[in-house]
């Protein structure tokens, strides 16, 4: 029996529906949540939330937040989040380049400026990696060679 899951940001509902497992980036490591999990409230880190249901996987990038787990529902409240399918790869690449340049310019300035630039770079790299790893159209599927995969 699946568990109901919601992935929510401050401005919108990203996902609502049944899932077989929730994989989330906890601040102390990766979390795997199955139906009937013990109640839990935990902080989330920058990373990818993956939801699996009946063999299909949906992925979302998040930049922190909290997750509440009850035996029949999992609620992910992300500070910032988006579906991997919504990420514009060209815009994400430009954001990465801008963040790298900004990081060079703020080096030696206030710790707050440096931290903000570093966070922007981490977020842009996460978005690009998520597209590469989790977007079906960009996944590399290994092909069997002449001696592989045959009986």
The model's pLDDT over 27-56, given as tens digits with 9 standing for 90+, comes to 999 999 999 999 999 999 999 999 999 999
Say which residues have a Cβ less than 8 Å from residue 114's Cβ, sequence separation at least 6. Answer: 103, 106, 107
Closest CA to 61 of 40, 42, 46: 46
Class at the top of the CATH hierarchy for domain 3-84: mainly beta
How large is the C-alpha radius of gyration of the chain?
18
What is the residue whose two structure tokens read 């592989």?
A: 148
One digit per residue, pLDDT tens: the chain, 151 residues?
899 999 999 999 999 999 999 999 999 999 999 999 999 999 999 999 999 999 999 999 999 999 999 999 999 999 999 999 999 999 999 999 999 998 888 877 888 888 888 999 999 999 999 999 998 754 444 444 444 333 2
Which of these, 142, 2, 7, lies nearest to 77 by C-alpha position? Answer: 7
CA distance 7 to 30: 17
CA torsion, points 62, 64, 70, 73, in degrees to nearest 10?
-20
What DSSP designation does 88 have?
Answer: -
Domain ranges of the chain: 3-84, 88-138
């Amino acid at each position: 029996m699946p568990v109901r899951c919601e992935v929510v940001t401050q401005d919108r509902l990203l996902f609502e529906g049944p899932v077989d497992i929730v994989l989330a980036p906890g601040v102390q490591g990766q979390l795997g949540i199955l139906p009937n999990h013990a109640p839990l409230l935990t902080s989330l880190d920058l990373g990818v939330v993956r939801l699996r249901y009946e063999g299909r996987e949906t992925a979302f990038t998040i930049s922190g937040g909290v997750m509440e787990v009850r035996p029949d529902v999992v609620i992910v409240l992300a500070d910032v989040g988006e579906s991997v399918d919504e990420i514009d790869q060209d815009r994400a690449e430009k954001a990465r380049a801008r963040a790298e340049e900004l990081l060079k310019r703020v080096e030696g300035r206030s710790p707050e400026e440096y931290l903000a630039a570093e966070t922007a770079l981490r977020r842009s790299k996460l978005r690009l990696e998520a597209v590469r790893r989790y977007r079906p159209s960009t996944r590399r599927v290994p092909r069997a060679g002449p001696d592989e995969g045959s009986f």
